[in-house]
Structure 1
């Protein structure tokens, strides 16, 4: 059985066609990413919106724009994952 990744097809081999398709898809992706506007940087809150406890300085520096403390963020992400099923 011939290797289908190098099978002749219209003067080209299948691998060439797949490479061209991947190159074109990457080109479109690069254009779309370059056209994106950066998200505005928000100021992190000092108190969690869920539990009203202070958000640590380390978290506020690591995640600019954060609105929840680490514990509440973990719970929020778990809740979101449960609803995404």
Structure 2
């Protein structure tokens, strides 16, 4: 007979499996060649390292800093 710890472990594993399945189901989009903010070319190394990136590293950093200000 399963005890409460087994039931909890089974439930936690189920949630983990569902989260992993949902993450795998998200299609990867291609990175843009030019930054959406400054229109400068995004270096190929960044496009390969950060699949789906839309900003150059400088603009991404600025965007994250601005977003953190409004996160509350």
TM-score by length of 2: 0.77
**How big is the shift at 1:25?**
4.5
Structure 1: gaps (5+ residues): 1-15
By percentage of residues, which structure has more helix? 2
* Bigger fraction of residues in strand: 1
Cα root mean square deviation, aligned: 2.0
Matched, 1:68 2:52: no
- The TM-score, its normalising length taken from structure 1, stands at 0.66
Q: 1:22 offset after TM fit, Å?
A: 4.6
Gaps of 5+ in 2: none
Matches within 5 A, 1:4-83: 20=5, 22-36=8-22, 37-83=24-70
Greater length-normalized contact order (CA 8 Å, ≥ 6 residues apart): 2
Runs ≥4 residues deviating over 6 A: none
